[in-house]
C-alpha cells in the first residue's frame, strides 16, 4: 500500500477503494488502520487518508482539500465542479483566496472536515451539472462569484487569451445552459465580439 501511495504525489488523498485489488475490504481497512496507528498514514476525514507531510518550519502540513474532494467523488461516483471564489481565483479573475473550498456536485450537499479545513459540497441541478467542468462550468462559477456588475473587459480579455479554439467552441455550444446575463460575456470569450 505504501509503495503505491508513494508512487503518486505525496499530497494525494486515498480511500480504501484505491486498494480493492489487494484483498478483501476488511483486510484493507485493517491495513489502513494499522498504518495510521504507526503514524505512516494520516486519517484526514472519514475513510480518507494521506501521507503526513512535514515542513521544516511550519511542521505538519494540512491535507490538500482539492485531492480530498476528488477522493470523495471517486469513492462515491460523483461529479464535481469548482465553485465560487475558488473558481474565480483558479482562473486568475480574482486574487481573493477563499477561506473554504466549495464544489458543486450531483450528489447530496454536505461539508467535509479535513484536519481543521472545511470543504463544502453543494448539490446542483442536472442542468447546472450538464456544463462541462472546463471551461464552461469553471467560467460560469467564476462569473457568478464576481457578480454581473463586477465583470470587466480586462478580466475577460485575460481569460480569452488563455482559451483554446476547442474551449471557445464548447462555450458557444453550452451557451443555452448558462444564465442569460452571462451570454454577452461568454459570446465575447468565444468569438471576440464586443460586449454590448
Segment 134-158, tens digit of pLDDT: 898 999 999 998 998 988 888 889 8
What span, in angstroms and rounded, lies between the C-alpha atoms of 4 and 132? 31
- β-pairing, 117-123 vs 48-50, is unpaired
Instruction: Kindly report the number of other CB atoms within 10 A of residue 142's CB atom.
Output: 25
CB 84 within 8 A of CB 98: yes
68 within domain boundaries: no
CB 30 within 8 A of CB 10: no
Instruction: Kindly report the number of other CB atoms within 10 A of residue 184's CB atom.
Output: 15
Together in a domain, 123 and 164:
yes
Together in a domain, 56 and 82:
no
- Has residue 11 got a pLDDT over 80? no
What span, in angstroms and rounded, lies between the C-alpha atoms of 125 and 17? 27
pLDDT confidence of residue 165: 92
Residue 168, by phi and psi: left (phi above 0), alpha (psi -120 to 50) or beta? alpha
CB 87 within 8 A of CB 141: yes
**Parent domain of 28:** 2-60
Together in a domain, 140 and 173:
yes
CB 13 within 8 A of CB 41: no
Together in a domain, 22 and 98:
no
pTM for the model: 0.72
Segment 177-192, tens digit of pLDDT: 999 999 999 999 999 8
What span, in angstroms and rounded, lies between the C-alpha atoms of 25 and 42? 19
Could you tell me the CATH number of the domain that includes residue 32? 1.10.10
- Has residue 50 got a pLDDT over 80? yes
- Has residue 30 got a pLDDT over 90? yes
- Has residue 10 got a pLDDT over 60? no
67 within domain boundaries: no
12 within domain boundaries: yes
For cell 471517486, the residue is 74
CB 116 within 8 A of CB 62: yes
Encode 79-111: b = buried (16+ Cβ within 10 Å), e = exposed. bbbbbbbbbbbebebbeeeeeebbbbbbbeeee
Give 155's contacts (C-beta < 8 A, 6+ positions apart).
93, 146
Together in a domain, 117 and 170:
yes
What span, in angstroms and rounded, lies between the C-alpha atoms of 148 and 14? 39
Amino acid at each position: 500500500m505504501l509503495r503505491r501511495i508513494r508512487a503518486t504525489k505525496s499530497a494525494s488523498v486515498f480511500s480504501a477503494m484505491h486498494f480493492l485489488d489487494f484483498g478483501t475490504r476488511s483486510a484493507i481497512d485493517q491495513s489502513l488502520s494499522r498504518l495510521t496507528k504507526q503514524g505512516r498514514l494520516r486519517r484526514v476525514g472519514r475513510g480518507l487518508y494521506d501521507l503526513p507531510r512535514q515542513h521544516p518550519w511550519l511542521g505538519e502540513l494540512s491535507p490538500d482539500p482539492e485531492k480530498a474532494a476528488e477522493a470523495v467523488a471517486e469513492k462515491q461516483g460523483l461529479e464535481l465542479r469548482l465553485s465560487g471564489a475558488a473558481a474565480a481565483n483558479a482562473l486568475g479573475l480574482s486574487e481573493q483566496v477563499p477561506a473554504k473550498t466549495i464544489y458543486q456536485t450531483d450528489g447530496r450537499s454536505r461539508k467535509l472536515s479535513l484536519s481543521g479545513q472545511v470543504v463544502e459540497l453543494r448539490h446542483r441541478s442536472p442542468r447546472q451539472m450538464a456544463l462541462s467542468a472546463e471551461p464552461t462550468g469553471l467560467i460560469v462559477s467564476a462569473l457568478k462569484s464576481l457578480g454581473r456588475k463586477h465583470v470587466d473587459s480586462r478580466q475577460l480579455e485575460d481569460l480569452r487569451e488563455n482559451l483554446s479554439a476547442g474551449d471557445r467552441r464548447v462555450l458557444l455550444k453550452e451557451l443555452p445552459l448558462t444564465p442569460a446575463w452571462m451570454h454577452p460575456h461568454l459570446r465575447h470569450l468565444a468569438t471576440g465580439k464586443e460586449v454590448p
